[in-house]
Amino acid sequence: MSQKYTIARLTVEKDKFEILVKPDPALKYKQGEQIGISKILVIDEIYSDANKGSRVSTDTIHKIFKTQNIQEVAETILREGEFLITAEQRRNLIKDKKILITTHDLVDLDGFVSCFSMKLLLTDILINQELSIYFSELTKSTRSFMERFIEKFPEITFDYIDDVDLSKYDLCLVLDTNNLNQLAFKDNLTLLDANLPYIIVDHHYFNQEQNHVEKLNLLNLISDKFSSTIEIILELFKYCDKNPILTYRYLMIAAILIDSGFFKYANNNTLKQVSKLLDDDVNFQDVLLLLQDEIDISKKIANIKGLQRVKLIRRGVYLIGVSKVSSFGSSVASMLIKIGFDVSIVHSKEKGGIIINTRANKNLCLKTGLHLGKILGEISKRYKGSGGGHDGAASLTLNEDLDIILDEIIEKISQFL
């Protein structure tokens, strides 16, 4: 039996507005069909929390929507807000499709583990469905981790392809990536060029205008409330009432540790997720040993050069460090925070264009409301770049106007200091 209702939600500043809708007509409406809102609404009510039955006052409705007409407000919520599709609808949209799972170029541990964990889950719930993982290139640290992991668990295999014909697939799952420009395919082909539908699962601040909207985007799972993408996928395991096997619990803990900065950027949910993964069969010290890696000499040189070139900008009691390197920009940005800068901005010219990596002290973000992901995401709109991330860690990729953009980033950050 299909679910009788689901929720559509719109958040305006701090106010949340929810309506109860019939799943099938609501989905058809979101996919572009002309359906009257009266045939979609379950009840003519606007809620702040539909599950609790908490209604929004008429004064608040009029203040935000400039009308008290419930059906007009409901249509705005459905048109502009999120639509929580049902499990049955989600399954129907992806079943019987050849699925490609991928992540950003220079695959880090979170992207690597997320792809294999997603394949593990889908293999369990989508019987006899073709699933492939594609990686353009792994980072050296990810490759080293993979080798150490196979040495500890020789029964596991990491099968993926490094060349792909996009025309052979019906759907692409894009993980740990907040922009399609961060994907790398042969001959600079894109998912849009190949007309391949995609679903994004990511934990970075998301600029919707950077991505084309289509019906399968209703399945996007994007939230910067998680410190890693694998945490979102763990929520999918829970949603599907599935438990990851032992080797994957090791992988997942390792990915969470790396992306949360060994819990430095973690929240309560992060710790709960790791706690659930740990049991008598998982040795936390073994995970730490798997993550021990000698620092590459090139990375050491980049850190030293980044420190030599840093420009110090003082804003009251806060220090901003701006530097330039040819590679390892994210590492240099993190290093500047460790030695005492409150905010770091490091730019480098790499094969994808000019990349600006930013970091900020977590306490500073909590105290001032600074969110680097939102700042870079908004700037990327105007300069046709790709940008986003978290409050304390974000990046921006562009092809020109570096000096102008650096000045704008510094100015916007300074507004919070």
Look at residue 284 and tell me whether its pLDDT is greater than 60: yes
Share of the chain above pLDDT 70, in %: 95
**Residue that terminates a domain, selected from 266, 290, 314:** 290
pTM for the model stands at: 0.75
Q: Which domain holds residue 258?
A: 89-290
- The answer for residues whose C-beta is within 8 angstroms of residue 48's C-beta and 6 or more apart is 15, 16, 17, 18, 54, 55, 56
Q: Is residue 262 located within the same domain as residue 387?
A: no
Is 315 within the bounds of a domain?
yes
Q: Is residue 66 located within the same domain as residue 196?
A: no
Q: Coil, strand or helix: which one is 107?
A: strand
For the segment 178-195, the average pLDDT, to the nearest whole number, is 81
Q: Is residue 344 located within the same domain as residue 232?
A: no
Q: Is residue 143 located within the same domain as residue 264?
A: yes
Q: Is residue 73 located within the same domain as residue 141?
A: no
What's the Cα-to-Cα distance from 352 to each of 253, 386, 396, rounded to whole Å? 30, 11, 11
Q: Is residue 151 located within the same domain as residue 98?
A: yes
The secondary structure of 8-59 as a DSSP string is EEEEETTEEEEEEE-HHHHHHHHTT----GGGTBSSS--EEETTTTEEPPHH
How many Cα atoms are found within 13 Å in the side-chain-facing hemisphere of 16?
Answer: 12
Residue 204 binned pLDDT confidence (cut-offs 50, 70, 90): confident
Q: Is residue 114 located within the same domain as residue 134?
A: yes
Q: Is residue 301 located within the same domain as residue 285?
A: no
- For residues 247 and 222, the answer to whether their CB atoms sit within 8 Å is no
For the segment 134-163, the average pLDDT, to the nearest whole number, is 93
How many domains does the chain divide into? 3
Q: How far, in Å, CA of 165 to CA of 351, rounded? A: 22
Write down the pLDDT at residue 122. 92
Q: Is residue 226 located within the same domain as residue 323?
A: no
Backbone φ, ψ for residue 189 (5° rounding): -70, 150
Write down the pLDDT at residue 291. 92
**Residue that terminates a domain, selected from 53, 84, 115:** 84
Instruction: Average the pLDDT over each of 14-23, 66-75, 87-96, 223-232 and give the range with the smallest value.
Output: 87-96
E strand intervals along 158-251: 171-175, 198-202, 221-222
Question: Tens digits of per-residue pLDDT, 25-64?
Answer: 988 888 778 899 999 999 999 999 998 999 999 999 998 9
Give the domain CATH number at 28: 3.30.1250.10
Write down the pLDDT at residue 221. 81
Strand order in the sheet with 221-222: 131-134, 99-103, 171-175, 198-202, 221-222
Residue 248, amino acid:
Y
Write down the pLDDT at residue 85. 78
Q: Is residue 120 located within the same domain as residue 199?
A: yes
**Residue that terminates a domain, selected from 49, 84, 119:** 84
Q: Is residue 53 located within the same domain as residue 146?
A: no
Q: How far, in Å, CA of 101 to CA of 173, rounded? A: 5
Backbone φ, ψ for residue 188 (5° rounding): 60, 25
Write down the pLDDT at residue 306. 94
Quick one: tokens of 187? 């001959």
Write down the pLDDT at residue 146. 95
Q: Is residue 80 located within the same domain as residue 100?
A: no
Region for 242 from its dihedrals, namely left if φ exceeds 0, alpha if ψ lies in -120 to 50, beta otherwise:
beta
